[in-house]
Structure 1
Amino acid sequence: MNDDPIMVFAGSGSPRLTARICEYLQIPQGKNETLRFSDGNTFVRILENVRGRRVYVVQTTVFPANDNFMELLFWIDALKRAGAESVTVVIPYFSYAKGDKKDEPRVSIRARVCADAIEVAGADRVVTMDLHAPQIQGFFHKPVDNLYALPIIGECIKGMHLQDIVIVSPDVGFAKQARRYASYLGASIALADKERTGHDEKAVILQIIGDVKGKTAVVVDDFTISGGTLADVSTKLIEQGAREVYAAVTHGVLAQGSIEKIDRSPIKQLLITDTVENQPVQFSDKIKVVSVASLFAEAIKRIHNRESISEMFR
């Protein structure tokens, strides 16, 4: 490892997370710069020698999603053209993962288009966290490591010393991962029956399946954008007799208006991670951010030393 020190570069979407990753690895951050011109074009430049090196670039892809995704492609291309032996792309939040299927006529499978673009740009490996649809790993021909925030969020929930917990999945899609949370915390599980009819980020909570009466409900999910589902599920849980409601999501995307919905809801506290760090909103006291830098740093170190990543989650 001393003969091939780890080089980690930050895209403009993840400066603070990258700094924490480098701090954990006890390495200096790679020198680079991003410029944005008045016509909207993005320009990236590596400011040190990467020839023959195995390098890592960290870039989340939201706020603004398209600009950050294009910047990521430019970083991959710049590093490969500068002679890097391999480029591992660390995408803390892969925003287009929601577009994982053709579920109506004449629409794009956006996640597949993004996967193709990342590979064509020259990426050799992808590291991400809590993909909205795990099958997206199959969209890539290159290795994809999908990390889980569960160990970090799970320990944070344990540290809150909540009594008589029931883990609640806000829909069927997250039920499998919710079951892992329940197992990790030794808790029971319940499921919200949700119906979504359009593309307006609104869903109707029909019912809660499972026993929540007198319990402390913890709603878990991979991301929240509008805060609407979390607010609606928490209200339904209180109606069905839950004593208190907390929530924990990996990706706190949190668009305009989301904080107001969460503040008006019965949620006592919302845990999010730092996979997204450039939200256009001011957090309230209900939001608590926990860092997943150690997980990404450990994954980078294991990839660099050709060690198993799955061992991290056993």
Structure 2
Amino acid sequence: MSRKLHSPVAVIAGGSAGVGRATLDAILDRGWRVAVLARGQDRLTEISDAFGDRVWTRSVDVSDGAAMDRAADAIVEEFGRPEIWVNSAMLTSFSPFDDVDEAEFRRITDTTYLGTVNGCRAALAVMRRGNIVNVGSGLAYTSVPNQAAYCGAKHAIEGFTQALRIEIARAKRPVTLSMVQLPAINTPQFDWARNRMETHPQPAPPIFQPEVAARAVLQAIDTDAREILVGRSVLKLMAGNMLFPEVVERQLTQMGVEAQKAEGMDPDARDNLQSPADYPSRAHGSFDARAEDDGIIVDGDFARKAALFGGAAALLTVGILLGRTSRASMPRLGSDGDDDTAVPYYVRPTEYRS
């Protein structure tokens, strides 16, 4: 039986947790209905139970292009034709390259890069107009050690998105294709990714909450931006790689691995590389006490012009003055307003607040 209603439809691939889950909440808050695609059926069931007819869900592996095409057709038939499509699915492994075999590297690439490609193909097959947003990373500009497969995939997404954007413009299709380049975000990725480091992984500081990323996705949609840069760290990565790449690489050689290490190791660590981890549907990971609720969100083209005419310092300054989100920072979970350096870096998932 069709569940079509008279309100706009969005699709989020990788929408059951992390940035995708925060984006789901943000789009639902605008009154849209959302189709959620993800591997984990338990999390999809949780979302369906929470939001009822406002959501449509299907368990699908984004690396399977045929399955994504079938899901897109089903969305149109059962839920409505989408006007927004967000590609946010990803996998990673916190491991030295020498420890990552071909199958593991391919699995990360198939999900993170080809999953985005498959999402764009499926979206363009069913969308008549609207916005496609590919969720990227500052690591598309400057890579870090111990995540070679993930960094390579994010670089690939950047190149693919630019090529496809030009083709869409040449065809004069009324579809806007945007990239949102994210900083380190407090998501469950760091609780369930494959990890060969001797400690629990963490987002390399500064860390931002997933809601900052969700606001950036909405800004890309609202402004039809070509690219959105999020967080001062992404601006620094972009400027540093453009102006002083050898200095950036030297610093990452010295501290790039250590910046990704939290204190301690979770004895119940998960591994979601081959199958979904047993984990609730939530946006936040284990680093609420250290994550910032607000951050710079700036149009990437504007930032580049600032860098061209005023240098990297102007890029950062203008971004701070004009690109900051209007929402004021809220107190951090687990923070009483005092210096939070005494708060443990890693909080086990069982200790989360709902």
Give the TM-score normalised by structure 2: 0.33
- TM normalised by structure 1 equals 0.36
Looking at secondary structure, tell me which structure has more helix per residue.
2
